[in-house]
A = this chain, B = another copy of it.
């Protein structure tokens, strides 16, 4: 049995809360187990609340008019999604879909807003979290808009490394937290192009790819390349 409070505490939203507040929050949480591949909510759905990932992973993506998808982010345990819509008062701005069997915690909108009113401690966390999302999007934006695919990929890998300092130490091996086609969409490109980008990085002896496992051969070289952008 999983402890809700432990999960809540893992979220930057609530890590600063008192035990008392955590207990109250835990009481208003509703668990929701979802199968991999199933949709959590759709772009345009009215926002009745938001989610926190307890186990598994969730893909957050937009769909263009013609059906092309662009992955904004993949949420992992401890991360939340849909908060923005709660405060904007508008519909959900994106689709969300479980990438694997996952366990989510659901917080109902009105209930949560009341909780926020009463507990100024949460506010700081919320503001910080939203700011964090902003920074994430800004980085993503300039990465996709200003750099070419190889560079975007390198930067993505470096960001992954920064989040997983665990496997960072030895020769450095990281596992891609999503399928390559999802990653392609995240990097605003296509599977064929991503595949070639990986090949080029291998040819330059920067990395070695084996399925979803990436071995970092030349961290310094990667860092250089990330700053490179000859021109564009």
Q: Which of A26-34, A115-123, A201-209 contacts B (4 or more CB under 8 A)?
A: A115-123
Tell me which residues from 106 to 157 in chain A have a Cβ below 8 Å from any Cβ of chain B. 116-117, 120, 123-124, 126-128, 130-135, 137-138, 140-142, 144-147
Contacts A137-B137, A146-B64, A146-B68; is A128 near B188 (CB within 8 Å)? no
Task: Report which of B84, B123, B188, B227 forms a contact with A131, defined as CB distance below 8 A.
Answer: B84
Size bracket, chain A contacts = 35 or more
Task: Enumerate chain B residues within 8 angstroms of A64, measured Cβ to Cβ.
Answer: 142, 146-147, 229
Asked if B188 and A146 make an inter-chain contact with CB atoms under 8 angstroms apart, the answer reads yes
Give the nearest-CB partner of A68 in chain B. B146
Distance (Å) between the CB of A61 and the closest chain B CB? 10
Q: Which of B128, B134, B188 contacts A89 (CB 8 A)?
A: B128
A-B contacts, 22 of them at CB < 8 A, read A62-B138, A62-B142, A64-B142, A65-B227, A65-B229, A66-B229, A68-B232, A70-B142, A70-B145, A72-B138, A87-B128, A88-B128, A88-B132, A93-B135, A116-B123, A126-B127, A127-B130, A130-B131, A134-B134, A134-B137, A140-B141, A144-B145
